Structure 1
Amino acid sequence: MTRLIDIRPGRGGRFLLGALPILALLFVYLLASEARHADNPADKVLPTFAAMAQAIHAFTTDRDPASDRVVIVADTIASLYRLGVGLAIATGTALILGLLLGVVPLARALLGPVVAVIAVIPPVAVLPILFIVLGLDEASKIALIAIGITPFMTRDLTSFVVSLPAEQFAKAQTLGANSWQLAIRVALPQLMPRLIAALRLSMGPAWVFLIAAEAVASDVGLGYRIFLVRRYFAMDIILPYVAWISLLAISSDALLLFASRRGFPWAHGAGR
């Protein structure tokens, strides 16, 4: 008798199984929205697919007055710029600190507690401080993303380096490797897949911090647009924007996974 745990669907089967819940949710939403609009044609809570299609046509054709770009394009470029720069700063900082704290016990004893303390501070709580210190421009939004995810990534990478077999470092030292060579030649190659994995896990919080910053002080961006139209209960705009953000997040995660599998196939077991 075949056990449930032994059933492993192929690529096509996984795609079909993954699509079924999404299609079911869309079907339930369709029924609910049609039922609400049958009772109240002016209902804004559950807009119909036709209403959302009209809204999508509007923000994919209308132009933003400030940038003279199509609204959705202007919002997407602004948000992706902030997100990309914030993630780049966080990734570079976490990589350097992770190597330093993981390879050098003295550095870990000195800086580890500071990183641990910063990691437990809610990043959104420091947003007013960032606005006061850095102003309302791009710097404060980028800083929130970097501050929000750097401590988590640093602790994760440090833990990974510390868990590497001590024999690897001992053999390298026997061959004359110094601390710099231990970090670059021994720890770094093994750390790179973990770095990408940590970045993938940080993408969700990074989007949250970005939307929060754009909602408070911005004149363009995906988060700004959502919080701008909420005062009008424009769910026909909010829902497509949320779907677009989800699509961007899924695409970036898939791209990172592809890069990890292509660059470091040895870190991905068969069948994963």
Structure 2
Amino acid sequence: MLPDSALRTTALGAVPLPAPLRRCAALVRHNTALLLGEPGPLASRMILPLVFVTLLRPLYTAAEGTAAGTVQAVTGTLITFSLLALSIVGGSILTERLWHTWDRLRATTAHPLEILAGKAVPVLAALLAQQAVVLGFGALALGLRLDHLPLLGAALLCWTLTLLGLGSALGVLARSHGELSAGYDIGGMLLSSLGGAFVPLSALPHWVRTIAPASPGYWGAGALRAALAGEAPRVLECCAVLLGFALATALVAARGLLRASARTAL
């Protein structure tokens, strides 16, 4: 448990920071230590995608050609396993709730949004690292071309913010680790499949293509593929929709935590 004194102190000789930033920095350090203390889930989300992309790439290249097949294999695997990494986001919040340490954090001077920010920053870095590993492997081992890095960076950031929102909402709404597991397993596979991660949408039934835009995975995959192709207008369109998903799910998470805090106060 992070003591309230850790939210107030500043290193000797350091430039004083505003109180909210000081509290957020302390929470970021605390949650980074917790994340690194249990590296298994994060390591599995980094290693397994490399195995899958290696095994699936020959199938896609045989069907679509080397360049298109490589893009399909890498982006599809990235979208799928980053959605499964919702377990990292949601688990960090659910554990606080089940251990009742969330209530103790709320008893400190930290605002709920500061607590969420303290949890979000380490997970944001972890998710970006996971995606960088997959793309780097694709570039170094499979010949994936990364010619438009600014567009790719924008697509990855917007997609990761969406994952943070989805995972936070899932961690707030789930009542047990079993529910959380079902949520990210079923939800992750469903959203990635609707996004065309495993099978290109052009090969799926018409009704699937019709409802696909309701899935964040559709826009995430679209943003990544457009970024790799250098299609800036499409990247901007997909990023705008992803930010909408991120904002909506973040509001759900924040409202749920604020209501839980209000019930505790009563």
Larger Rg: 1
Normalised to the residue count of structure 2, the TM-score between the two structures is 0.33
